[in-house]
Homo-oligomer: A and B are copies of this chain.
Amino acid sequence: MHPKLLKGNLLLFFLVVLAWPVEAQVPVPVDVSQTTDDSLLIRRLADTILTDGQAYGNLRLLTKTVGARLSGSAGYYKAEKWGQQALGAANADKVWLQECMVPHWIRGGKDSASWSTRGRRTGLDVLALGNSQGTGPTAIQAPVVLINNFDELEQQKDKLKGKIVFYNYPFNPLLVETFQAYGDAVRYRGAGASRAARYGAIGVLVRSMSSSVTNFPHTGALAYNDSFPKIPAFAVGLRDADRLAEQLKANPGATSAYMRSGARMLPDTPAHNIIGELKGTEFPNQYITVGGHLDSWDPAEGAQDDGAGCVQSIEVLRALKAIGYKPRHTIRVVLFANEENGGRGGRKYAEAAKDAGEKHLLGLESDNGGFTPRAFTISLPDEKLAAIQPWIQLLKPYGVYEFERGGGGSDVNPMARQLGATVGELRPDSQRYFEYHHARNDVLENVNKRELELGAVNMAALIYLVDKYGL
């Protein structure tokens, strides 16, 4: 669209253009020390983030000079250095490392898979699931059985010995919030291997956790049940999954699959949470934590998951400092280690805080992608949530229109359990998250700079309000 233009009629053009609801006033600079007006202070936070913001530039560095950073990989240790540097450049009063032991799973080269019917072989775009055992160099080949859900698995349990199970459970498209569709489907990725191994299956193919129109396979962690053999498990791209399912419906019993992967789990290895702090002026021993996780899956750049949350959290600190805000409480940015296949960083942070007897007002996470902001979940009871509803009017100009009762991200949830802290997370629009999640296309080019920045604006505003008014 465009303001309608009429050839040769400049006057009418201007009438139409000027009828556009332009409210292009550039805010007047405000002396922070002189104002108690929350909307003006939040406007100043927004202004520095939207004009001098470092979030996107930081994300470019992380994705393009560090790239993939799975726990235990060389990339993760490079990312630790990047995080320290970025927090320093954001003017943290103090930056330090908190050590924890993390799992060290390696992919061990390119995964490959195919299926064959009557001698005709068709390749599959696959990724071994995180934590999966590989096949070793000899690979596996076996008849493949289509299993649409766990009920079918139980019905077919006597026919699975020596077979490869193909779980083809799709995202439910009726669930508007895509994380609900993920929550519904992800058990096939997480538990499918062991449940099939229990009945003698020797390998598992899992429809990717996505509702994309593309064919990128989406990896992600599985969890083996130690009572059963640890069989290899691969994510399959959606278009390939559709074709394979069609084939298996048309010719059940006539199709075999081939799987090869060099994946294996090595001994645990040390890694670090990276922490930066703005010291509180009034309650230096009371803390507000904001963070994302520094590790990512190995096939891409971890731009949305969760480079976005890391750079947004750093940007919160940078913006508060840049406008000269002096927090009452100590504000900590934490870049958590090992969210993807262990959650060790989040648990370490909460345990250490508990050991130190720290009081934490809020643990806020951004780990749902740097998409356009819509809501925050906060783990407050209804009446306390109602009490902070007036803050929504301050956030709404920047996109957040709702506080929902709910948990935090998986890195800050241990703070609720260990410390009794309130936790929460940014809930940006969810429609695109599972386009990129754990897939090769989770790259900088699929992050929109302004959406990323607006998430940071809302996070900074919420941190400011909690610092000022408590929870």
User: A residues engaging B (CB < 8 A)?
Assistant: 1-10, 13-14, 16-17, 19-24, 26-27, 46-47, 50-51, 56, 103, 131, 172-176, 178-181, 183-184, 186-187, 190-191, 194, 211, 213, 220-226, 265, 293, 305-306, 339-343, 346, 367-368, 372, 397-399, 401-402, 406-407, 409-410, 413, 429, 431-432, 435, 438, 448-451, 454
Contact = CB atoms under 8 A, between A and B. Distances in A.
A184 B24 contact: yes
A409 B1 contact: yes
Please indicate which of the listed interface residues A22, A187, A397, A402 has the most CB atoms of chain B within 10 Å of its own CB.
A22
A47 B306 CA distance: 32
A224 B8 contact: yes
Nearest to A50: B173
A269 B23 CA distance: 38
Contacts of A184: 22, 24
A319 to B, nearest CB: 14
A435 B398 CA distance: 19
A180 B24 CA distance: 7
A46 B174 contact: yes
Contacts of A22: 180, 183-184
Contacts of A451: 431-432
B183 A3 contact: yes
Contacts of A56: 213
Give how many copies assemble into the complex.
2
A435 B51 CA distance: 18
Given A13-B223, A24-B184, A211-B449, 11 more contacts: A1-B293, A1-B339, A3-B183, A5-B221, A10-B191, A13-B190, A23-B180, A26-B174, A56-B213, A213-B449, A431-B450
Contacts of A454: 176, 431
Contacts of A194: 10
Nearest to A21: B406
A4 B410 contact: yes
A398 to B, nearest CB: 6
Contacts of A16: 410
7 contacts: A1-B306, A5-B223, A7-B223, A8-B224, A20-B183, A27-B174, A429-B429
B181 A450 contact: no
Contacts of A4: 339, 343, 346, 410, 413
Contacts of A3: 183, 186, 190, 410
A7 B342 contact: yes
A5 B213 contact: no
B448 A8 contact: no
5 closest pairs, A vs B, by CB?
A: A20-B183, A1-B367, A5-B221, A4-B343, A10-B225
